[in-house]
Structures are given as structure tokens and as C-alpha cells.
Amino acid sequence: MINAPFADGHSWMHGIDPRLRVIGAVVFAVVVAVSYEFAVLFAALILSLSMALSARLAFRDVVHRLLTPLIFLLLLWAVLPWSYEGDALTTLGPVVITRPGVILCAQISVKTVSLMVAFMALLATMTVDTLGHALNRLRLPDKMVHMLLITYRYLFVIEQEYQRLVRAMKIRNFHPKTNLHSYRTYAYLVGMLFVRASERARRVHGAMICRGFNGRFVSLREYPPRIRNPVFCLFAVLSLVMLVALEWLT
């Protein structure tokens, strides 16, 4: 259901302390989100592409992951250029394409792609449990981190239970139609999933308590201090300062 093709690599990027990568990704996201100058946005795009290169991400997987946001962007391109008010850029028959509309679309597109690629390079290069532990050591509330980790682990189990219920429906010749019977059946399906998930949660919690769980996860993974950590920090601070300066000066 979830596959993490980027998490297995052994590149320079994979060895950097996950905490630094999380902070870097968040700050980068904020800076890019509030910037509007094309110089800044394209600089950010180049930055994130070079990060993806240094993490040695497979080109095909990156493109594959970009497909979903691209569909969303296409939708924007289909709607915004003619619905946004402003000076006309050109006219296509009765439709007026406005300059601010096109500019807005271009900004959103460049932002989306550069953020997606940056997150792939910085965050997708760690497994979900590493991410959880990194967030934990960044003092995020325990509850949030546990929810992330446990959701990740049990998504598969819940999906299996879903498949099991769907099979049980299919072997008794259930065909969804637009009628009350179908709606009710789907409602039962969702209800059953909730009931089973909460029962499962109760049992898992029991099993954890039996093994001495006291509310804290301890991670086995260690990221020893390495020379690449300060190098990454320096690089990140310099590029972020550059982006902010570009936005401010122009």
C-alpha cells in the first residue's frame, strides 16, 4: 500500500541526521510558500533538483510521484487563467486570458514542483519510523508521534481487513448499485472497519503494556555526529538566506 522506494538508498543525503533534514524541509517550505518572485522560485526549483540529484533518487520514481500533483496543477491551468481578473494577455474566442491569472498559475506550479521534489529528497529518504523518531526528538508531542508510527504499521492490517470484508460481500454476489441496499452495505462496511480497528487498538495496547510500555518509544537507530551534518546546515542556511535576500531585494 505504501512503498518507500527512496528510503533504502545510501547516498550522502541518507546519512544526514534526520532532525536536520526535517527542519531544513520545513523552513524551505515556508520560504518558498511566501515567495512570489520568479527568480526566487526558480532558484528554489534548482536547489530542490540538485538535492534530489545528491540523494541519487531514481528519475522515473520522482516523475511518477509528481504525476498526481501535476493533474491538480492542470486543473488550475484550466480554470485560473480565464477566471482571474486583470489585464488581458490574449483572447481565445470569447474567453479572455488574463496576465495575473497566468502568472499565478506559473507561481503555483513552480512552487509545487520544487516543494515536492525537495520533500522527496529530504524526507522521503528516511523511513516513516525514522521520521517519527526524528519528530519525537524535536520535541513534538508523544501522542502525535505515536499516532504517526502506529498508523503506519496498522494501515496494512486495516487494509487487509477491508479486503476481507469486501471479499465477503463479493462472494455473496454484492454488486453496488444506486439504491438504499448498497448505501447501507457500504455503511456497514465502514462501521465494521471502525469497530475492528478499535478492537485491534485495544489488543495492541494490551500487548504493549504486557511488554512494559510506559508511554515512550525508544529508537534503536542512531545517527552519529558526522562532518556532513554541519556541512548540510551551512549549505541550507546559505541557500535559504540567498532565497530570502532575492525575494526582499527584487
Partner 1 sequence: MSPVILNLTKICYGYPGGPLVLDDLDFHLHAGDRIGLVAPNGSGKTTLFHIVMGLLKPLSGTVEAFGEARKVETDFVEVRRRMGLLFQDADDQLFSPTVLEDVAFGPLNLGKSREQAVAVAVKTLDFLGLNGFEDRVTYKLSGGEKRLVSLATILAMEPEVLLLDEPSTGLDSSTKEKLIDILNTLDLSFVLISHEFDFLSQTARHIYTMEGGRIRFDRELNIHTHRHAHLMGNQPHRHV
Q: Which residues of this protein are in contact with partner 1, per CB under 8 A? A: 127-129, 149-150, 152-154, 156-157, 200, 203-204, 206-214, 218-220, 222
Q: Which is nearer to partner 1, 143 or 211 (CB)?
A: 211
Least gap, CB of 190 to partner 1 (angstroms):
21
Residue 82 vs 154, nearer CB to partner 1: 154
Least CB distance from residue 178 to partner 1, whole Å? Answer: 36
- The one-letter code for the residue type at 106 is A
Nearer of residues 3 and 173 to partner 1, judged by Cβ: 3
Amino acid letter for position 70: L
Residue 99 beta carbon to partner 1: minimum distance, rounded to whole angstroms: 50
- Smallest gap, in angstroms, from Cβ of residue 207 to partner 1? 5
- Number of other CB atoms surrounding residue 208 within 10 Å: 14
CA distance linking residue 123 with residue 21, whole number of Å: 7
- Other Cβ atoms less than 10 A from the Cβ of 116: the count is 19
In terms of DSSP H, where are the helices of the chain? Answer: 18-34, 38-54, 59-83, 99-122, 128-137, 142-170, 180-210, 228-249
Cβ proximity to partner 1: between 77 and 217 the closer is 217
Write down the least CB distance from residue 131 to partner 1, Å.
11
Cell digits of residue 193: 472497519
- Neighbour tally for 134: CB within 10 Å: 23
